[in-house]
Amino acid sequence: MIEIKKTYKNYVGGKYVRSESGKTYTKELKNEFYELPLTSKKDIRDAVTSSKDGYKKWSSTTPYLRMQILYRLSEMIEGNKESYVELLMHHGLTKQKANKDIDESIQNIVWFAGLADKWEQLAGNLNPVSEEYFNISHQNPIGVVFSLSGSNLSLNELLMSILPALTVGCSVISYSEENSVVALKFAEDINNSDFPSGSLNILSGKFENILDDVSKHVEINLVALHKELDNNGLKSIEENASESVKRVFSQPSIEGLSSILPYLETKTVWHPKGT
Amino acid sequence: MVNWQYLESIESREILNIRSKYTNYIGGKFIEPNSKKYIETISPSTEEVLSKIAISNQNDVNKAVKAARSGFEIWSNLAPYERSKYLFKLARLIQERSREFAVLESLDGGKPIKESRDFDIPQVAANFFYFAGWADKIDLSWSTKGLKPHGVVGQIIPWNFPLLMLAWKVAPALATGNTVVLKPAETTSLTALLFAEICDQAGLPNGVVNIITGDGTTGSLIVNHKDINKIAFTGSTQVGKLIQKSLAGREVGLTLELGGKAANIVYEDAAIDQAVEGVVNGIFFNQGHVCCAGSRLLIQESVHDQFISKLEKRMQALRVGNPLDKNTDIGAINSKEQLNKITNLVDEGVADGGNIFQTECELPGNGFWFKPTLFTDVQPSYSIAREEIFGPVLTTLTFRTPDEAVEIANNTEYGLSAGVWTEKGSKILWTADRLEAGVVWANTFNKFDPASPFGGYKESGFGREGGRHGLLSYLKESS
């Protein structure tokens, strides 16, 4: 029997799409060649349009429901565990390492699912102002996040570049270069987990092609780089970002509460007390 | 009818002892600038020359950063509880010399004495008190791992609340174990230099607080200095972007508190008289030299005419004049440059077709002044509705529905503050949730407290000052 090989596509606005440029790049993994979408400037623009719409839907989803959708994602991965392990092993990981990666992935999704309805209590508070006012600081998600994933073949690393922003209600454009086969496979489980379309878009390609387009796009509110770039790359991103006071985080913490802080805007509301 | 004659009530300047010139304060000493350059600093209400301040060059910045680096070795190794006591001591000294600070602030910056005396300086002391208590409780502040100070922090502050902006910067930086090189604005450096005397008086270890004066060039020397670990800047969005760009690719922390064009939304079910009072305070407080000023009035159509007529009447009662007169509501514009900027934008508003109302009042002959101004019939595309004027100028737009109000309010690259006026609680919360602004004042405006975080969304900057959240601006996670 001839084995059927999957065609990997970008995942934008809840649909699997090829790059509008028609271009692909070849990734060789363990004697197999994959033709992966080579994301263009126009693809980025489409993804941002979709993410803006996804942000509106996802950020207005109740924390209770966001928690359940994230939990459903862990159910999906658990169900497809074997296929992930196989994919990783195909690409050179030992069975033990592959299993560990997927187990950690599931554990992290469950951890963030449970945080979806709690982070506001951890990051916000009432402020004891010295006059007769009610004063509270709470948070809004920052908006559309572009996240560059790391270069290791790993579902867990990919997830840790997405989950903190997604959990607090941001929409995420996740971009992978080396890890793209895993990322584009992961899109299928996102698609099956009731995430509103556009809340998470998954793209593959060469980051250097779109570095300027991403960092200059004024509707991307934050750029998170989970991969070490050479100093010139980082410098151009940060220079471009300054034109719209865009937030840039290079290798932000993925630990506990620190992991979500970059994606939050603190809003403080005052109201007088009186009779 | 009795013809009341106005009697001035002028605050005495006798309490002041202004030196003929001021040097930099570096490593616990007042020292001559290496540049040997000084500029005159004037009172914007009379154009009288008050003193001379140094224009610092690269060598001066080097000295200050070096002093702050040695200061950091001492300060960061001090028991947190000792740092706390120093901050409490500074707070007390500010209280004790508060009248001196207030008079100097009004004289040098042009703001009414009732504001410097009753708002600025009490808030300065309150900020030092508030952060004094945090110094030995950093480990309790956030459930994140191993927070530690950045090191040497460069702080560049504006001229609108000179000493208060110093307090917002210096108090949290010191509480978290950093040391600072602070540059006040060149038109309002005197109270910062008086604060340097207080640091001396408090016996603060040398190099913990360094104050150097100068213009934008000195500021950029601080930003570009190789041994600075973090920059905290309050000022215009334009300069903020330049600073962010200069720091690109460098491992230097940054927080920015930039411009704003706040919407002040008045719904038809607001307590109108209270709202008029709040709108007046929102824009005319401190001559409108406030980054979070409520400069875009959004009125629901049904109450527009009634509101404007009450607003004009209330504006007419504002007293413009000598900042040292205790009855003055609106003092002098901070500088000639700022006055020109305001005048140009207002001229543009008139040319665009806006309907202008200015109060009838006599302005003093010398100094820089601008009459309280209100624009109606403004289109959202006019520059007076988009650009930060930073003066006593209010522009009015109208809306029909709450959705439209939110859309207009958020239709700006800024996101610092906003106001909502309605007697309906659910509408306040609904609106506040949707406003892209770091501070939302509901049925009030321009309230501040050291415990309350302040800072913007979008192009109004990032990071917060004040409150528990303000600590994070001066801490990083140890790796």
Q: Mean of the pLDDT values across residues A166-183?
A: 96
Query: In chain A, whose CA is at the least distance from the CA of B443?
Result: A271
**Closest partner residue to A270 among B143, B447, B461, by Cβ?**
B447
Q: Could B468 and A257 be called an inter-chain contact, meaning their C-beta atoms sit closer than 8 Å? A: no
Query: In chain A, whose CA is at the least distance from the CA of B251?
Result: A250
| CATH superfamily membership of B24-258+458-477 | Aldehyde Dehydrogenase; Chain A, domain 1 (3.40.605.10)
Q: Mean of the pLDDT values across residues B416-437?
A: 98
Whether B94 shows a pLDDT value over 70: the answer reads yes
**pLDDT for the residue numbered A92:** 87
Chain A nearest-CA distance from B86, in A, is 23
For B139-198, how does the pLDDT look when each residue is reduced to its tens digit (9 = 90+)? 999 988 789 999 999 999 999 999 999 999 999 999 999 999 999 999 999 999 999 999
For B99-109, how does the pLDDT look when each residue is reduced to its tens digit (9 = 90+)? 999 999 999 99
Whether A32 shows a pLDDT value over 80: the answer reads no
Tell me which of A119, A120, A129, A245 to substitute to probe the interface with B (most B C-beta atoms closer than 10 Å): A245
**Is A132 in CB contact (< 8 Å) with chain B?**
no
Tell me which of B144, B145, B257, B420 to substitute to probe the interface with A (most A C-beta atoms closer than 10 Å): B144
| CB contacts, 8 Å: A245 with chain B | 237, 240-241, 244, 256, 258, 458-462
| CATH superfamily membership of A10-272 | Aldehyde Dehydrogenase; Chain A, domain 1 (3.40.605.10)
**Is A128 in CB contact (< 8 Å) with chain B?**
yes
Which range (A188-192, B292-296, B393-397, B475-479) has the least confidence? B475-479
For B275-322, how does the pLDDT look when each residue is reduced to its tens digit (9 = 90+)? 999 999 999 999 999 999 999 999 999 999 999 999 999 999 999 999
Question: Is B40 part of the annotated catalytic residue set?
Answer: no
Between residues 236 and 265 of chain A, which touch chain B (CB distance below 8 Å)?
236-239, 241-245, 247, 253, 255-258, 261, 265
**pLDDT for the residue numbered B279:** 98
pLDDT confidence bin for A27, thresholds 50/70/90? confident
Q: Could A261 and B144 be called an inter-chain contact, meaning their C-beta atoms sit closer than 8 Å? A: yes
| CB contacts, 8 Å: B144 with chain A | 253, 255-258, 261
Catalytic residue among B11, B115, B186, B291: B291
Q: Mean of the pLDDT values across residues B337-344?
A: 98
ipTM (interface pTM): 0.96
Question: Is B404 part of the annotated catalytic residue set?
Answer: no
| CB contacts, 8 Å: B436 with chain A | 140
**Closest partner residue to A257 among B144, B444, B457, by Cβ?**
B144
Whether A195 shows a pLDDT value over 70: the answer reads yes
**pLDDT for the residue numbered A91:** 84
For B6-26, how does the pLDDT look when each residue is reduced to its tens digit (9 = 90+)? 899 999 999 999 999 999 999
Chain B nearest-CA distance from A53, in A, is 16
Q: What is the DSSP string of chain A?
A: -PPPPPPP-EEETTEEE--TT--EEEEEETTEEEEEE---HHHHHHHHHHHHHHHHHHHTS-HHHHHHHHHHHHHHHHHTHHHHHHHHHHTT--HHHHHHHHHHHHHHHHHHHHHTTTHHHHH-EE---SSSEEEEEEEEE-SEEEEE--SSS-HHHHHHTTHHHHHTT-EEEEEESTTHHHHHHHHHHHHTTTPPTTSEEEEES-HHHHHHHHHH-TT--EEEE-SPPPHHHHHHHHHHHHTTT-EEEES---SGGGGTGGGEEEEEEEEE---
| CB contacts, 8 Å: B455 with chain A | 266
**pLDDT for the residue numbered A1:** 78
Q: Mean of the pLDDT values across residues B79-89?
A: 98
pLDDT over 90 percentage in chain A = 92
Q: Do domains B24-258+458-477 and B263-442 have the same CATH topology?
A: no
pTM exceeds cut of 0.90: yes
**Is A131 in CB contact (< 8 Å) with chain B?**
yes
pLDDT confidence bin for B213, thresholds 50/70/90? very high
pLDDT confidence bin for B479, thresholds 50/70/90? low
**pLDDT for the residue numbered B73:** 98
Q: Per-domain residue ranges for chain B?
A: 24-258+458-477, 263-442
Chain A nearest-CA distance from B444, in A, is 7
**Is A62 in CB contact (< 8 Å) with chain B?**
no
| CATH superfamily membership of B263-442 | Aldehyde Dehydrogenase; Chain A, domain 2 (3.40.309.10)
Whether A77 shows a pLDDT value over 70: the answer reads yes
**Is A28 in CB contact (< 8 Å) with chain B?**
no
